[in-house]
A and B are shown apart, each in its own frame.
Chain A
């Protein structure tokens, strides 16, 4: 990953946090890493503990952003989520996996797509 695209990602996550906070999410953690996985944002949404994967696109992609969260990525997110729950001794909370996608318009503004409950542990 080049320094430039890394910065782009960081800025994307800033944008995501801003977006989520505006909607009443309480950000708990950013860029949480476990041995085999990582989660972009961990937030509290009412009674739910939400694990959020942020996607940034410089164009309007075809199809759902869910398509770009592949199986290996899901597994890495799930693994990190399990680690987070374990480390913080959380046993009695309902959890959710969300995907938050930003599309850059030509005028520099962004369109947002927020998929709640995007995938599950199988």
Chain B
């Protein structure tokens, strides 16, 4: 007897409908699973057997062939336990699948028959709904996540027995609903606030510009000058997420299995700060079936790389492509998958190995060669892609001992949001979100320079030996500065400020050596 049930497999951020076919015939007892299953799927054999007998149901005699179609897609993870168990029960007529039309089943079984949560439910449900699925049966822990998808009935069942009773019509389970609007509240209470940072006005200004245009920024300064402290507060001045952005980020975290702790929807921009021992695969993403890396987990948020030159050179170089494209394609033998990676890079570093190179009080103990080698870790092309370079000097003693609170994050955020609103209007109808992502075609259209501004830029090109990319990036930063001021055209002062943030790239990283 042949039984068919719906389920799904993940391919990147998309779900592919999978049909679980269970065929039984008489003979020696046993079962085999085919259809490119991985180890976790093969192990479901033992879980399903125990789960069925521990749920007060009978494991039917005979030999079972379980096929996960289509056969050319690799099936990963334990989420097929539930459909396999129900298929086996259905072949012995212990369950009837009348209520299972246009339905997908997702769930791992524990040995006592309980259904456990699986990862990737949100992207799977999105794709399934688009493919015409009407109903999804998941465990209660996954129900909130699945219910984020509209026009999909989410039936939460806690164990195998309940699933059987529901399908047999013995009990009714109402579809689970979540209130998207109440989940998606403007959550702007941040742990850190800019008012806690003393002094460093010019750095805060640079960070404000970076946040307003989603520009990449590099902070250079001696130890203890507040680089890390400043960087950690960037989230607090970024504009809140839109609903579609929040869903996009939540999908990424769902695939990675990082959506734990009762969180249903990620409502804040991510802030990722991987340690400098992280590998290039960890940053970009990878694995046999590629999983998102740090650049994708920081999508629409901040990727903070502290101690920038301490990262392996390969790690820094792999950042180049996603910085430019806003997405990253990871190809492996089994699959080639593209993940979004529109992040804002915030890097922090010391000016030399001992850290005191630019310090007016402490003496630097590094030889010029050592300093140069330190800076050589950062290639020209990489520095070229960082829009703003800013020095964070040691705080003066008056600043250190002052008790005055500086401007709060809220005030800065309001200016940032106003600037972003201008950008939204400008890029309405395109795929771009911010000035930093402006394509060359729009660059000419939106970055009109006033006469004297053009003169300054021409001089800067010559003097700073700007590359084509450097030129583009300067224009984009100037555009953001003008947006912050609410100015339609780019004025001389905007260009002047933008060029001063690019002094490092011009020197190709030779920091005054």
Contact = CB atoms under 8 A, between A and B. Distances in A.
Interface of A: 48, 78, 81-82, 85, 91-97, 117, 120-122
B169 interface: no
Contacts of B30: 120-122
B45 A95 contact: no
Contacts of B31: 120, 122
A95 to B, nearest CB: 5
A43 B31 CA distance: 23
A96 B27 contact: no
B28 A48 contact: no
B451 interface: no
B26 A92 contact: yes
Interface of B: 26-32, 45, 61-63
The 10 A-B pairs at the shortest CB distance, nearest first, are namely A121-B30, A94-B61, A120-B30, A120-B29, A121-B28, A95-B28, A94-B26, A92-B26, A94-B62, A93-B26
A121 B29 contact: yes
Contacts of A95: 26-29, 61
Nearest to A48: B61
Given A120-B31, A122-B45, A96 B61 contact: yes
A32 to B, nearest CB: 15
B29 to A, nearest CB: 5
A85 B61 contact: no
27 contacts: A48-B61, A78-B28, A81-B28, A82-B28, A85-B27, A85-B28, A91-B26, A92-B26, A93-B26, A93-B27, A94-B27, A94-B29, A95-B26, A95-B29, A95-B61, A96-B29, A96-B61, A117-B61, A120-B29, A120-B30, A120-B31, A121-B30, A121-B63, A122-B30, A122-B31, A122-B32, A122-B45
Given A94-B29, A94-B61, 7 more contacts: A91-B27, A92-B26, A95-B27, A117-B29, A120-B31, A121-B29, A122-B30
A48 B28 CA distance: 10
B430 to A, nearest CB: 56
Per DSSP, chain A at the interface is mixed
Contacts of B45: 122
Contacts of B27: 85, 91, 93-95
A122 B29 CA distance: 9
A82 B30 CA distance: 13
Contacts of B61: 48, 94-96, 117
Nearest to B59: A117
Contacts of A122: 30-32, 45
A81 B63 CA distance: 14
Contacts of A121: 28-30, 63
B436 to A, nearest CB: 56
Contacts of A91: 26-27
A48 B26 CA distance: 10
A85 B61 CA distance: 16
A26 B314 CA distance: 73
A67 B19 CA distance: 37
B84 to A, nearest CB: 15
B22 to A, nearest CB: 16
A120 B64 CA distance: 11
A108 B31 CA distance: 42
Contact of B29 (A82, A85, A97): A97
